[in-house]
Amino acid sequence: MHALLNDSPTIPVSQHTGRISSKSLVNLDQLLLVVPDPAGSSAWKLLPEGTRLQAAAKKMPQDSAVLLHSRLNNQRQTLVVGGKIAADASAFQQLTLARKLVAVASKETGIRLGIFVAGFDSVQQASITKRMLAAALAASFHMPAYKSQPKPKPAHDIVLLGLAERIDISRVQAEANGNNLARWLTCMPPNKLDAIAYTDILKSLADHHGWHYKRYSLKELRKSGAGAFLAVAQGNQNDSACIVRLRSRPGKKTASVDLSLVGKGIIFDTGGTNLKPFQSMLNMHADMQGSAVALGTLLAMTELGLPYAVDCWLAITENRIGPEAYKSRDIVTAANGKTIQTIHTDAEGRMVLADTLVFASRDKPKLIVDFATLTGSCIGAITTHYSGVFSNRAEWHPRLKRTGQVSGERVWPFPIGKEFMDELKSDVADLKQCSVKGTGDHILAASFLAEFVEHDTPWIHIDLSAGENEGGLAHIPSTVTGFGVHYTLSLLLDEKILEAGA
């Protein structure tokens, strides 16, 4: 990872199989314990001092996520934080419990954190253990901070205890690294992550991971006719705006593309000429989260060594005010030749994605997935607990929803199509950028984007309404969630969506 990103080392994770003893706990500062709900005495007997801990658990509020907060009678006075969960609990419920337990344990500093899942069958034990680990890795990551007095560092080591057999945690670690990268970039202050700094980081990551890096400058984009992207970029005070393509070809040289990841990278969004009010503009350095999630997904896939030819397209610019900024009722021509009548300059995300989707689809990938913090309308429809998902393959809706349930990063499918384009008819251009009414804008925005996916390429659009959720979401402890990395890996590896799109 680029040196600028974080001084956080990779968290070592060790595994101990079989019955645990007092000796195996002696070096732990904290122990996270998960038992079934209801928990029989057999689960407690698997743990030293289990009878005493079970008695302590009975004194805790039974409606609390934290079932136990006690200490072992060892020299280290290991803190035991316990929780209970039904064997058939959903992935989201398991991840949420994991985040809450880790949060309690993290209030104390320590070097070594243990995780023990007791009383479940081996399959359930492995699954819950992985989700506990995911929460611990998310909490152990050092987010950007510029305080003169840094916070105490979280656990340095994680130990998985009492497993029936060793489990493969490579996917958990790769997804954690991808999510951490996405969150880290998203939380960067706007004066630290401008377009120049962002592309420097991308170039460094590309060099480190063997990705081919190509930066399309404004001059090149003008030659390519990318008028939709350029309309937004023209308000910038310099020529730093660009579209970046990262190309991964693990173990093979091929012109074909299996997967294109596309991300909205608005590194600061004032709303443009239609200026945002203060509350709405305050956190608009995070409007590039879609690009960070696309990048984090590429990183996770690379670390796992997945044998896919992947392109990652990132549309990077600010949306600023100024004498050159684009205006309502401007007419611009996108890279596919379609003319757009602009309506509201704060609908800039769909503009920069339009041209980027054209470029991505011209390579005829088997699948395009784009990520964007695109519309407030999607938040209004499903809150910040879910993200919206759209596709030009309506028959995939059940699969897309199921992937959210399996991964714990939940999505809700919405329709798109020509019937919605009536709202985007223009008297002077091929289509309007958005509707003046604003009703169902998340659906209209996705329907607009579909007009720029060429060759009937299978396409999934994720409107990241869950990109920020106060207090965290699922296993992620920060308000910025990095939603999408875990979901996309599940889409590829569990749902095997690439095979469906081939």
Alpha carbon 325 to chain centroid, angstroms: 31
Of residues 350, 366, 410, 432, which has the active-site annotation?
350
Report how far residue 235's alpha carbon sits from residue 275's, in angstroms, rounded to the nearest whole number. Answer: 13
Alpha carbon 451 to chain centroid, angstroms: 25
Residue whose token pair is 């093979």:
252
Of residues 276, 338, 362, 393, which has the active-site annotation?
276
Half-sphere exposure of 218 (CA within 13 A, CB side): 15
Report how far residue 44's alpha carbon sits from residue 231's, in angstroms, rounded to the nearest whole number. Answer: 63
Give the bridge partners for 13, in sequence order: 158
In 84-117, which positions are buried (b, 16+ CB within 10 angstroms) versus exposed (e)?
A: bbeeebebbebbbbbbbbbbbbbeeebebbbbbb
Give the bridge partners for 69, in sequence order: 81
Within the chain, what is the greatest distance between any pair of CA atoms?
Answer: 78
Give yes or no for a contact between 112 and 155, defined as CB atoms under 8 angstroms apart: yes
Report how far residue 294's alpha carbon sits from residue 291's, in angstroms, rounded to the nearest whole number. Answer: 5
Give the bridge partners for 361, in sequence order: none
Give yes or no for a contact between 314 and 294, defined as CB atoms under 8 angstroms apart: yes
Q: Tell me the two tokens of residue 169.
A: 């945690």
For residue 362, indicate whether it is catalytic: no
How many residues appear in the chain? 502
CB count within 10 Å of CB 375 equals 25
Q: Do the strands 259-269 and 411-413 form a parallel or antiparallel pair, or are they unpaired?
A: unpaired
Supply the DSSP symbol for 394.
G
Phi-psi map region of 482: left, alpha, beta (phi>0 left; psi -120 to 50 alpha)? left
Q: Which amino acid is at 3?
A: A
- Secondary structure string (H, E, C) spanning 50-79: HHHHHHHHHCCCCCCCCCEEEECCCCCCCE
- Sign of the four-CA dihedral 52, 53, 54, 60: positive
For residue 276, indicate whether it is catalytic: yes
Query: Which amino acids are annotated catalytic?
Result: 276, 350
